Amino acid sequence: MACVASTDTVMIAPFDAAQRYRLSPEVALRPEPFGALAYHFGNRRLCFLKVPELVDVVRGLGGHSSARDAVSGLPEKRRHACLRALASLAAAEVIVPDVAGSAEQP
């Protein structure tokens, strides 16, 4: 495990909207009037999800074949902004690639 002063480099795969993602099991979402707070217990990051529709997308990611599919129900003008937000959440490890393919789960 790397510490704050470590020179170890951790490589995070770039966000790919065509890939399936899910909420990291190390993350807790707390509903707020503006959207939600996402706290990652592993890296201790706190992220603000400032739009309720983004919270819905994040919660439902595992039920879709891709991140792009997860935002397909949003108005077209909001999809790009939501994909950018998902890319930021992936960089913060709030959402992670779903290699197990949990789309069958409710």
**pLDDT tens-digit map of 32-46:** 999 999 999 999 999
Tokens describing residue 91: 């960089």
What's residue 99's pLDDT? 83
Rounded to an integer, what is the distance from CA 74 to the centroid of its chain?
16
pTM > 0.85 = no
Mean pLDDT for 24-35 is: 96
How far is 31 from 11, CA to CA, in rounded Å?
A: 30
Side chain identity at residue 42, one-letter code: G
Q: Which domains does the chain have, with CATH numbers?
A: 22-98 (3.90.930.70)
Please state, for a pLDDT cut of 90, what percent of the chain lies above it. Answer: 79
3-state helix, strand, coil in the chain (%, to 5): 35, 20, 45
Count of CB atoms situated within 10 Å of the CB of 42: 11
